[in-house]
Amino acid sequence: AFKLHQFISQGRAVYATYEARDRRYLTLDGQYYAPGTDGARILFPLAFCRVCGQEYYKVHYDESNSRITPWGEAFDEEEDEQSQRGYLMMPPSENFDWSADDLPPEWLNANGRVRSNYKKRLPRLIHVAPDGAVFSEPGEGAVNGYFQPSPFLLCLACGEYYTGRQREFTKLSGLSSEGRSSATTVLGISALDHAEEVGISASAKKLLSFTDNRQDASLQAGHCNDFVRVSLLRGAIYEALRRHGELRHFDIARKTKEVLAFDLRDVAQNPQLDPASPHATTVWKCFEDLIEYRIYEDLRRAWRIVHPNLEQCGLLRVDYEGLESLCSRDDLWQELPPLVRLSASRRLEILRPILDFCRKKLAIRVECLRETYQQQLRQRVNQVINDRWNFDESEERLRQAERLILPDQPANHVPGVSLSARSLVGRYLRRRLPDISDYSQFVRKLVTVLASQGLLRLDRERGVEYVQLDAAVLIWRTGQGEPPPPDPIYSRRAISPLYVRVQQKANEFFRELYSRRALSLRSVEGLPHTAQIHYADRQERERRFREGNLPLLFCSPTMELGIDIRDLQLVHLRNIPPTPASYAQRSGRAGRKGDPALILAYCAAGSGHDQYFFRRREEIVAGAVRPPRIDLSNEDLVRAHIHALWFSEVNLRIERSIDELLELQLDDLPLKDSVRAAIELSEDRLRQCIEEGRSILDLCAAELKEADWFTPTWLEGTLRRAPQAFNEAFDRWRQLYRAATTQLLEAQRIQATSFDERQQREAKQRVEEAVRQRNLLTNTGTLREESDFYPYRYLASEGFLPGYNFPRLPVRVYIPREDGEFISRPRFLAITEFGPDNLIYHEGAKYQVRRFWTPPGGLAARCSTAKLCHVCGYFNSGADDRCGDCQTVLDGSTSLFVNLLEMPNAKTIRRERITCDEEERVRRGYHTSIHFRFAPGAGGRLRTIEAMVGADPTQPLLRTTFAPAATLFKVNHGWKGGRTEGFLLNLANGEINPDANQSPGETAILRLFVSDTENLLLVRPRPEIQRDPRALASLQFALQRGMEQHFQLEESELASERVGAGDHRAILYWEAAEGGVGVLRRLVEEQDLFAAIASTALERLHFDLASLEDRNPDCAQACYECLLSYTNQLDHRLLNRHLVRDVLNALRSSLATPQHAGRDYEEHYRWLRSLTDSRSELERRFIDHLYQTRRNLPDEAQKAVAEVNTIPDFYYSGCHACVFCDGAIHDEPAQQQRDKDVRRQLRESGYRVIVIRYDQDLETQIAQYPDVFGEARR
């Protein structure tokens, strides 16, 4: 079958060097430095004023170091701690001379001086060199520019000025402002729109869109449906205007409904309803009332930045009946001197914006914006109108008519918008009519005149007077094709000869969409399909999609395999899949019957992965598919499979719920007696299970032979401990259930004892929420297939049973949607995605994390302390005095002492529904760090495997340490830009940033952390690279890109971080995939694997393998095809592919030589014995005895301890133990005193001291320290 693979790249930002306009370098390729300049010219991203198009360089200004650096890609990038984020404008001409005389009048006080709140926001003149150096005076090569801090408040080209409350996105745009969500929606709609032209019709007229993130699927569905609903409504209004010329409040909804021309089944909740039935009339009347509300809601002022309305596109003009007549009557203005002297046209010019202000604020007297009417409307709509058109559950409160409060009144008594002298309207009137003497009296008289002519309605509530626009005077008319001039109330323009005048143009795309194509969207609807969607909903969506009744389905990888979709010819990829295998599966969903197919692949500009395959499309379309890898030496993975064998032997029947296993009536929720009896196997059955386990493990004997955790007794021990592990697997469920029960009982107590109306209402809500949570935990009222707490699925997520599709030990968050539901994420993702105050996108709505789950007794039990080593990055407990890796003494200069809370499960509150303004998910920025701790091995040793990588192992290029089953920690230190480290939490109820008056209980400032068992690889290059931050960062990502490409790893399967300092500075890689992927171990075990990865990395970095010539000279130092990616933006300024070319080339001829502590047991014994003091027979007897009894040998002999100025006879690094073999000479008093002083100093420095005496039995002394020397094996 013919398949067309169409790759579409997102519009990129434009980058420019800061040089004179005729010399500066411009490019669309995201880089940090301009080509051919060796770092002398920095590239800055540009943003453009939405009004006039003036470009601004997005910079960080470090004033203390007199330097500017570029921003990252996103407008919402957090400001770092040492620089000020802002915008730098290069003067548009040589004669440009901006000064404080050009400031907006609102920025000045009555004396003409700059107001205090604007002083730090004033643009200032600086002089900038191409390399980012800043000078206070003009210098050679420096170009002057005007820097203003973020937020952007004033365009120095056109004079448009703003408030700090407006989003940057509303003021400035990139060269291409389209986001991924808008691109996906438009591509999907366009593909469906043109499908019939190429013969795709009936049930095949549908599109399946893939994304790799569940939340993005929900975001995209919400974006698409909102875009379609709004476009369809606007298109119908325009068509009604075209047919009828003008519309009024009494017929606009009816005529818009007629244009939509829906069948009853398109809107009715009951699709089988007879159109001739009396109830059908009720449905149509309800739908018409719903349309009326949506029409008025859409009158709000330009509330969709990326989705301009009819008025902005020049297709609609709203007039006011009687306004022109009023302005022409001089007799009505006698009591308003500032207006009586004006012509009718000038009055109209001044008054029309005031009525526009009322309309855009929805200060309109109309029934559909009244609260009581809306309550009835919501009930009617949700009863009879289908899910596509009814009110979203996040629309808890519909938009009611605003009130415009007259001046000099206690406005806080009644909600509304003030018309005081300092309000937007007040400032506008005082600008246009500067001779107003008494503003309050003027406004009251003006309102009286407008109300007398029926334009406004004056009313009073609780003694407060307010006005609203009367809907009866609104006239909708067809526009003339040009957008209205800037609104003089909102669009504030400073007046100065310096500023250019701008004529805005209508958006051609949306003008054509509304006027020609919008009505073709009648049947377009999109829904998400992910593992988090209810099972029944997924089944229904699959059925509708198969039959062609659901045109758009936005899915996570759940739809790659195993789901029947017939007649599919259109597939869209929201991002490039991680591997050719995934691309083949997704693209293969289309054209299965031999029909032609179109695959649309969208490549994000900020993704190095997407851009790499945009340039090399054939590699992803026809690339080799390699089998997936599983690390068969992973202890957790093997243990889970042995547990599965034991579980099958136990044959415990579980039908539905965990409550079949636990006694929920008892406080500690123990296993039921019948379950406890069933899981205790008889000795014969246990022996049989052991034999079956051995036969299974024999299949991976080669891998287990190399695993240092596996012993001959491991299998039997695991099976004997299985009942205990099974019981412990339910501990996290017990915590959730106890917390829900505690909430239920406490809320019921408040209901029974409190007579406060607010407390009773809140208690009722908490009772209902707790009941829903307990129902979810026990699968009450839910299908087992859709629940995270279906016992088998739960045991897999807890790691007791194998579960490749489920994250192990996930963090869960409760979503208060419908009957409530839990969603889960892997811990290392959840610590930020479910972080405090972050937004979660789910099923068309946004939810905010506001509270953590608390077990009985509060969160204190989950708190701990730690010392994070600055020298090597090791995670030490709070009681450790010496680092477990680098041996550094841990003090305030070498470590960070932290109070930690292990990340709990979280709760959210609903915020709002998703609109088509949502291009990407909004996320809080957090300061996070990665730390590690090696797993303990036998006899106190650490489980590590070392290897030297290089042509000569005595002069290695890299020193590597592989650590199987190490513990990786991720610490969330707090919000970026926050004033304090950590988060303020109520330990009793889990509330985030609690109000002391509203939330009693102990509070603490804590950092969050998660941990997991991962395979780690520490890579320490030669000192010249360790000491160069740019070379080290470049090597980090070069090797990572090489590993990803060589092993075909997904970006999420391998991660890296730079850790440590000085000689301990290293690159830390870890296998982030569940169960590991087994590639890092291979790097230290397979001699030539580093060489192959270095070759792959060199090619990725644009170098020819034969000649090392640069195949892409346009890539100055790094680009999105080689080292740059969206996720490493903070390192962009460091990355330079040329710095690692030679070391990568040298690695191509290297070999990895494993070093098991440098020697095997025999060699190590002989080495230690050779180092003993020739005068000390006791030292030789001691080391001989350890060897003969096969105990743990010391790591070193005669090791100098510099800080105490002593040399112990032997040293054990794992437990910092110094061993002294004291012969007879140590009985002398002087020597005894010296020994006492030295050993006291050692203990004070964190070392353990063990003394072996010549006059005591050697075996007896050694046997006293089994944790150091181990047990005798002979």
Instruction: State which of 415-429, 486-500, 658-672 shows the largest mean pLDDT.
Output: 658-672
614 near 9, Cβ under 8 Å? yes
Give the pLDDT confidence score for residue 76 in this predicted structure. 39
Q: How far is CA 375 from CA 162, 367, 371, 388, 911, in A?
A: 36, 12, 6, 19, 19
Q: CA–CA separation, 865 vs 880, rounded Å?
A: 10
Report the Cα 609 to chain-centroid distance in Å.
18
pLDDT at 675 over 90: yes
Give the pLDDT confidence score for residue 489 in this predicted structure. 83
Q: Enumerate domains of the chain plus CATH numbers.
A: 10-173 (no CATH), 180-229+518-621 (3.40.50.300), 231-491+501-511 (no CATH), 635-806 (no CATH), 860-903+925-1155 (no CATH), 1161-1269 (3.40.960)
Retrieve residue 795's tokens: 């045991």
Residue 179: HSE in the Cβ half-sphere, 13 Å Cα cutoff? 22
**Nearest partner of 824 among 741, 736, 912, judged by Cα:** 736
How much is the average pLDDT of 195-200?
Answer: 86
466 near 405, Cβ under 8 Å? yes
Give the pLDDT confidence score for residue 755 in this predicted structure. 86
For a pLDDT cut of 70, what percent of the chain falls above it? Answer: 91
Angle between helices 344-360 and 424-432 (to 10 degrees): 170
Give the pLDDT confidence score for residue 1075 in this predicted structure. 61
618 near 778, Cβ under 8 Å? no
pLDDT at 808 over 90: no
In DSSP notation, 461-478 reads ETTEEEEEEEGGGEEEEE
Cβ within 8 Å of residue 604, ≥6 positions away: 10, 180, 575, 610, 611, 1126
Secondary structure (3-state) at 597:
strand
Q: CA–CA separation, 1157 vs 1228, rounded Å?
A: 38
Question: Where does residue 781 rank: exposed (0-12), middle (13-18), buried (19+ CB within 10 A)?
Answer: exposed
Report the Cα 1135 to chain-centroid distance in Å.
24
454 near 473, Cβ under 8 Å? yes
pLDDT at 1130 over 80: no
Q: How far is CA 913 from CA 484, 843, 908, in A?
A: 30, 9, 14
Q: Worst-scoring range by mean pLDDT, 270-284, 510-524, 856-870, 1154-1168? A: 1154-1168
Mean pLDDT of the chain: 86
Per residue in 157-168, pLDDT (tens digit) is: 888 888 777 778
Give the pLDDT confidence score for residue 661 in this predicted structure. 93
Per residue in 545-601, pLDDT (tens digit) is: 988 889 999 998 877 776 777 788 999 999 888 778 788 888 888 887 778 899 999
Give the pLDDT confidence score for residue 921 in this predicted structure. 47
Of the pLDDT bands very low, low, confident and very high (cuts 50, 70, 90), residue 700 is confident
Secondary structure (3-state) at 598:
strand
Per residue in 938-979, pLDDT (tens digit) is: 666 788 888 888 887 668 899 999 988 889 999 999 988 677
Q: CA–CA separation, 762 vs 785, rounded Å?
A: 33
Per residue in 34-74, pLDDT (tens digit) is: 887 677 899 999 999 988 889 999 999 998 899 999 986 54
pLDDT at 890 over 90: yes
Tell me the one-letter amino acid at 823. Answer: I
Per residue in 534-552, pLDDT (tens digit) is: 778 888 999 999 888 899 9
Cβ within 8 Å of residue 542, ≥6 positions away: 529, 563, 564, 565
Comparing 569 with 761, the larger pLDDT belongs to: 569
DSSP 8-state assignment for residue 701: H
Per residue in 252-291, pLDDT (tens digit) is: 999 999 999 999 999 999 989 999 999 999 999 999 999 9
pLDDT at 1224 over 80: yes
Question: Where does residue 185 rank: exposed (0-12), middle (13-18), buried (19+ CB within 10 A)?
Answer: buried
Q: What angle do CA 696, 698, 700 make, to 5 degrees?
A: 90
Question: Where does residue 36 rank: exposed (0-12), middle (13-18), buried (19+ CB within 10 A)?
Answer: exposed
How much is the average pLDDT of 1071-1075?
Answer: 72
Of the pLDDT bands very low, low, confident and very high (cuts 50, 70, 90), residue 1076 is low
For a pLDDT cut of 90, what percent of the chain falls above it? Answer: 47
Retrieve residue 590's tokens: 């289309």
Per residue in 740-755, pLDDT (tens digit) is: 898 899 889 988 998 8
Q: Worst-scoring range by mean pLDDT, 184-188, 394-398, 791-795, 1262-1266? A: 394-398
Q: CA–CA separation, 725 vs 704, rounded Å?
A: 22
Model's pTM, two decimal places? 0.66
Q: Pairing relation of β-strands 67-70 and 55-62?
A: antiparallel
E-assigned strands of 781-916? Answer: 811-815, 821-825, 839-842, 845-852, 863-869, 875-877, 895-902, 906-913
Give the pLDDT confidence score for residue 72 in this predicted structure. 65
pLDDT at 757 over 60: yes
Give the pLDDT confidence score for residue 534 in this predicted structure. 78
Report the Cα 672 to chain-centroid distance in Å.
41
Give the pLDDT confidence score for residue 104 in this predicted structure. 83
Retrieve residue 47's tokens: 């943003």
Give the pLDDT confidence score for residue 78 in this predicted structure. 45
pLDDT at 1144 over 70: yes
